[in-house]
Amino acid sequence: MTQLAFIFPGQGSQQVGMGAELAENYPVADAVFEEADAILGRGLRKLCFEGPEADLKQTENTQLAILTCSIAALRVLKEHGIIPNAVAGHSLGEYSALVASGVLDFSDALRLVHARASFMAEAGETQQGTMAAILGMETEQLQKLCETADGIVNIANYNCPGQLVISGEVDAVNHVVSLAKAEIGARRCRPLPVSGAFHSALMAPAQQKFKSVLDAVPLHSPQTDIAMNVTGEFGMDADIIRQLLFQQITHPVHWEKTLRTINNSGITQFVEVGPGKVLSGLVKRTLPESSAMNVEDLKTLSLVTDEYGSSG
């Protein structure tokens, strides 16, 4: 039997129209949007399907929208009998993975992500920061550049070989970018359109506010192996997972290590569940001998069900 991992996208994969085809054609997906709107008391369905894009890009909306679209796609895959042997999610996507592994109920995931997004957006307004992608540089080389900056800046995402993201205070990030451009060429660095310095110490206020919300939500033991962002390793029990979710807000996302951990368990087939194909690309760059597909609409669903589905 094929060993399969589901991976779930994070902020940045949003697009107007996401989830619409699945909701229109699968009642199980439509029910996810109904549940989200009822719990949140807002028109998340309309925002996902119709926009406007400017509202969808706001952190408080983006994170809830991607979570809901990802769980809708997950429910459709389950209806087709496609079940993962392991799961993981990139940053925000970790909450979708927690639902997929049985650690979190979808309703509780919505409440946590709503609080997380609000606190992160608030921290972004009060603690001015930014992020930048640095391509083609070795980790140790970039780490040394970060250490030369006068201010807060750190590697926030270890996405794949040669693709790193830094996060921190604006001047400190710009300092590292200018040094990186001098060493590896200007085309290899680009600022990211974000509302804050995610996965850096500037998110500490959000982290502290989030703790009381997180502590009040029940977490269950994972029913499916889940590899966690902070460690890049499988989370073994609910208490450890709770601690890692708290840390995740200010700690880097070890995505390359996460993929290698899953691969080392014997899994070479990955399906990205939710909008976009960002993570599928990272799989191909990190694990070139593995395969990656994505599910976000009817066309991509058909390709995955042809490959992995049952008659359901």
Residue 46 neighbours by CB distance under 10 Å: 11
Query: Which of 91, 167, 195, 200 is the catalytic position?
Result: 91
Q: How far is CA 28 from the centre of its chain?
A: 23
Mark whether 200 is an active-site residue. Answer: no
Query: Which of 114, 175, 199, 254 is the catalytic position?
Result: 199
Q: Is the dihedral of CA 296, 281, 271, 64 positive or negative?
A: negative
> What is the 8-class DSSP label of residue 81?
T
> Is residue 267 packed enough to be buried (19+ CB in 10 Å), middle (13-18) or exposed (0-12)?
buried
Contacts 24+ apart (CB under 8 A), 299-307: 301/22, 301/73, 301/76, 301/77, 301/80, 304/77, 304/82, 304/271, 305/80, 305/82
Tokens coding 80: 């087709």
Mark whether 195 is an active-site residue. Answer: no
Q: Is the dihedral of CA 187, 193, 198, 203 positive or negative?
A: positive
The catalytic site residues sit at: 91, 199
